[in-house]
Chain A
Amino acid sequence: AQSVTQLDSHVSVSEGTPVLLRCNYSSSYSPSLFWYVQHPNKGLQLLLKYTSAATLVKGINGFEAEFKKSETSFHLTKPSAHMSDAAEYFCVVSDGSSNTGKLIFGQGTTLQVKP
């Protein structure tokens, strides 16, 4: 069965410092993995996705994530945080082991950026 664990419910960084949001997944087959961002009182927007091509994926606004099969991880990083990055971030997995359109979301990580 597929599952997603976001290891931190809340991350606080100072503006200009690196961001690391951690995500571990469980999947019995080659998954697709996504990161979505939700700004306060807004809908969700795709940041980036891994779909079995390059393992280092670049997304919007300077974010990137690396798919590590051996560690079953898909951590999200950004070299330098900006105040506008404050939001909630969701790691999402889609498992290809069965013919299912299910998407599993992590519990979310709230990123706080301090001036």
Chain B
Amino acid sequence: EAQVTQNPRYLITVTGKKLTVTCSQNMNHEYMSWYRQDPGLGLRQIYYSMNVEVTDKGDVPEGYKVSRKEKRNFPLILESPSPNQTSLYFCASSVGTVFPITDTQYFGPGTRLTVL
């Protein structure tokens, strides 16, 4: 089944404790992206990747890191989480990388992160 998976689905942590949220897709998509969803703000793009070893900042990259060493995986790293990073996080992928983006984004189920 074609899908985007995220792990963990729920995470409660404390300020400053490094964490990684994994994202994997099995559709051989080139484009992958991370978003955070906060009430009243919609989804905001954190980072995106157009292909392996190619990443770029979205609108809210501060406090986050990403890597794209393999096509299928796009982990989100919070090196020193803070309470303002408490949010619902979504990973997404799509086929190609023409501009503007025209392909359908396929979203993962979300990861609810709480930073105490």
Distance of A29 Cα from B99 Cα, bound (Å): 11
Residue B74 CB within 8 A of the other chain: no
Q: A9 contacts which chain B residues (CB < 8 A)? A: 40
- Given the interface pairs A44-B90, A90-B42, A90-B43, the reply to whether A103 lies near B33 with Cβ below 8 Å is yes
* B41, closest chain A residue (CB): A107
Contact bitstring B50-64, A, C-beta under 8 A = 1, else 0: 100000101100000
Minimum CB–CB distance from B89 to chain A (whole Å) comes to 11
Query: Which of B31, B42, B92, B109 contacts A108, CB < 8 Å?
Result: B42
- Given the interface pairs A90-B43, A101-B99, A107-B40, the reply to whether A44 lies near B107 with Cβ below 8 Å is yes
- Given the interface pairs A105-B43, A106-B42, A107-B42, the reply to whether A96 lies near B90 with Cβ below 8 Å is no
Q: B45 contacts which chain A residues (CB < 8 A)? A: 102-105
Distance of A50 Cα from B90 Cα, bound (Å): 23
- Given the interface pairs A101-B48, A107-B40, A108-B42, the reply to whether A94 lies near B101 with Cβ below 8 Å is yes
* A2, closest chain B residue (CB): B100
Q: B110 contacts which chain A residues (CB < 8 A)? A: 43
| A-B contacts, 28 listed (Cβ < 8 Å) | A9-B40, A29-B100, A34-B105, A36-B105, A43-B108, A44-B43, A44-B90, A46-B104, A49-B102, A94-B99, A94-B102, A96-B99, A98-B99, A100-B56, A101-B31, A101-B33, A101-B48, A101-B50, A101-B56, A101-B99, A102-B59, A103-B33, A103-B101, A104-B45, A105-B44, A107-B40, A107-B41, A108-B42
Further 17 A-B residue pairs, CB within 8 A, beyond A42-B109, A45-B107: A29-B100, A31-B100, A44-B92, A44-B105, A46-B105, A49-B104, A94-B102, A100-B56, A101-B48, A101-B56, A101-B97, A102-B45, A102-B58, A103-B48, A103-B101, A104-B45, A105-B42
A→B interface (CB under 8 Å): 6, 9, 29-32, 34, 36, 42-46, 49, 51, 90, 94-96, 98-108
